[in-house]
Chain A
Amino acid sequence: MSLFEQKVSELHQRLHNKEISVTDLVDESYKRIGQVEGQVQAFLTLDEENARTQAKQLDEKLAKGETTNPLFGLPIGVKDNIVTKNLRTTCASKILENFDPIYDATVVQKLQQVETVTIGKLNMDEFAMGSSNENSAFQATKNPWNTDYVPGGSSGGSAASVAAGEVLFSLGSDTGGSIRQPAAYCGVVGLKPTYGRVSRFGLVAFASSLDQIGPITRTVEDNAYLLEAISGLDPMDSTSANVDVPSFVNALTGDVKGLKIAVPKEYLGEGVGEEARNSVLAALKVLESLGAEWEEVSLPHSKYALAAYYLLSSSEASANLARFDGVRYGYRTDNAENLIDMYKQTRAEGFGDEVKRRIMLGTFSLSSGYYDAYYKKAQKVRTLIKKDFEDVFQKYDVIIGPTAPTPAFKIGEQLKDPLTMYANDILTIPVNLAGVPGISIPCGFSKEGLPLGLQIIGKHFDESTVYRTAHAFEQATDFHKQFPKL
């Protein structure tokens, strides 16, 4: 049995009892990568030498009994849009192919404080724009459950590496579903925290008002441990929130008696596949048997979320990605006579198709004469979507629906039409627009044997209730105990 089929708490206990060492865990990680990475292709960069050096140092601490933190010595993967000092960070883009960051993201500093071991950097859609990892400039990560299928995106490498047992857990980022959708497709647990819960300092910005870093793990409990480690106010991010970080693990009581669940009819209606719908209805029965109550509700503006999201996220992206101009870092063209030419050629040669498309859409909707009709309009619709959630949360504790309308699709299947690809995110996007937390946990398998995800959405800063609900469901089912055969 792989060490990574065990939980954080079990591995911690075994480290503490000196049954295993940190070096054993790091060995396990690179051994597994050696076995399956050819099929999965989750990693863009491995940091083996440093990881092994760090493992030795941590083993010395272990010998002295200095292992107080539950995450001590555990191997983690980091999405490649989170900057790591002296470890190449590419955002899966040609424009940052050789970028060598000069500082660590706040979440990376926090991982160092709890002494996890970074194994490497994980593949993604270029600049986190995509739902399949096919937009990576370097490689297409495969779904460990069936390598003909996509792992989802944009945090596809983060989800696939955990599902394949290459690392115990990983960090991803979620702007419109980029943690939850790949977690659903790969049969693992992924949480997008409340906007502001986790510092974005050192996360290469895509859409600043929507982006959040979050944990991808095998179990809900592990997810709670990792979120606790990376949360909190950060002086380097003025949008990080000054709210207490509770013990999320302590919230996992197993008790959901009297929990009030809202099920939006829009999340089980048009555009949502039979298998996704049935798995959610079955999950609601399980929660009901544990004492929770559910009712159908409406989030009436759901159908407008996708359009509002693409205008807002692309507008913010067009501004954020202006910094990639070939001057201070990254790729620069050889074919330019003057400065403006240099900007234009560098960006034309450095960015992939999807990134260009979004920069174009964003620039259009922010341009003079169109700003009010597109960008501002979308911001107003965002207010309506946010209010939908506030209204439902007046009466209910959590909202439940599928994470994605379908299980994973085949590689290449949706590349032709951008709008088809965007529709994978219709159930996750509203959560980012409202800024509330949402988790995806395994809740079944399709007839092809691909995982299905259950999405549980909570109130602002109420990750505890989201985790408690997810954990109670997980303990009553065995979907999380099944592993892909690679």
Chain B
Amino acid sequence: MSRISMEQVKHVAHLARLAITEEEAKQFQDQLGKMISFAEQLNELDTDQVVATSHVLDMKNVMREDVAKPGLPIEEVVKNAPDHEDGYIRVPSIIE
């Protein structure tokens, strides 16, 4: 029995915007199940009183003056886009 169901695997793949085949879903179920079981060794530690660390150094907001500066040229910005026209990026239809 894996730690994670086929339905969960498919749900996570959808959240991650990854198309997966039935065969891949089975493989992920096995591999993710193992990784999740491995990760659960962290439950041996009592961390109720421990503060979470998201960053190792003391971080504070870095402010700067709000001064207008020229942006990147539009033809440069779109040059790596797979499909573009007149400085706009084209994508498949969003609304039926």
Interface residues of A (CB under 8 A from B): 98-100, 102-103, 195-196, 209, 235, 238-239, 241, 301, 303-304, 306-308, 310-311, 318, 322, 325-332, 336-345, 347-348, 351, 356-357, 359-361, 363-365, 367, 374, 376-384, 386, 418-419, 433-435, 460
- Find out whether the CB atom of B12 lies under 8 angstroms from the CB atom of A379: no
- Judged by a CB distance under 8 angstroms, whether B86 is at the interface is no
Instruction: Tell me, in angstroms, the Cα distance from A342 to B57 when the chains sit together.
Output: 39
- Find out whether the CB atom of B80 lies under 8 angstroms from the CB atom of A307: no
Q: In the complex, given contacts A328-B80, A356-B28, what are 8 additional A-B residue pairs having Cβ atoms less than 8 angstroms apart?
A: A306-B38, A325-B17, A327-B81, A331-B82, A336-B92, A347-B16, A363-B12, A377-B43
Query: Chain A contacts of B31 at CB under 8 A?
Result: 357, 418
Near A by CB (< 8 A), chain B positions 47-93 give 47, 50-57, 59, 61-62, 64, 72, 76-77, 79-83, 89, 91-93
- Find out whether the CB atom of B56 lies under 8 angstroms from the CB atom of A386: yes
Query: Chain B contacts of A238 at CB under 8 A?
Result: 61-62
- Find out whether the CB atom of B83 lies under 8 angstroms from the CB atom of A100: no
Interface of B is mostly: loop
Query: Chain A contacts of B43 at CB under 8 A?
Result: 377
- Find out whether the CB atom of A363 lies under 8 angstroms from the CB atom of B19: no
- Find out whether the CB atom of A304 lies under 8 angstroms from the CB atom of B41: yes
Which of B52, B64, B77 is A102 in contact with, Cβ under 8 Å? Answer: B77
Query: Chain A contacts of B44 at CB under 8 A?
Result: 304
- Chain B 15-50 per-residue mask, 1 if CB under 8 angstroms from chain A, else 0: 111111000000010011011101101111101001
Interface of A is mostly: helix
- Judged by a CB distance under 8 angstroms, whether B6 is at the interface is no
- Find out whether the CB atom of B39 lies under 8 angstroms from the CB atom of A345: no
- Find out whether the CB atom of A339 lies under 8 angstroms from the CB atom of B93: yes
Query: Chain B contacts of A386 at CB under 8 A?
Result: 53, 56
Which of B15, B52, B64 is A380 in contact with, Cβ under 8 Å? Answer: B52
**A196 to nearest B CB, angstroms?**
5
Instruction: Tell me, in angstroms, the Cα distance from A99 to B35 when the chains sit together.
Output: 32
Query: Chain A contacts of B56 at CB under 8 A?
Result: 195, 209, 386, 433-435, 460
* Minimal Cβ-Cβ distance residue in A for B56: A435
List the 3 closest pairs (A to B, CB-CB), nearest first. A435-B56, A379-B52, A329-B80
* Minimal Cβ-Cβ distance residue in A for B20: A348
**Can you identify 7 A-B contacts, CB atoms within 8 angstroms?**
A102-B76, A195-B57, A326-B82, A360-B16, A365-B39, A367-B11, A460-B57
- Find out whether the CB atom of A381 lies under 8 angstroms from the CB atom of B80: no
Most A Cβ at <10 Å: residue of B15, B18, B55:
B18
Instruction: Tell me, in angstroms, the Cα distance from A307 to B13 when the chains sit together.
Output: 21
* Minimal Cβ-Cβ distance residue in B for A417: B34
- Find out whether the CB atom of A380 lies under 8 angstroms from the CB atom of B47: yes
* Minimal Cβ-Cβ distance residue in B for A242: B62
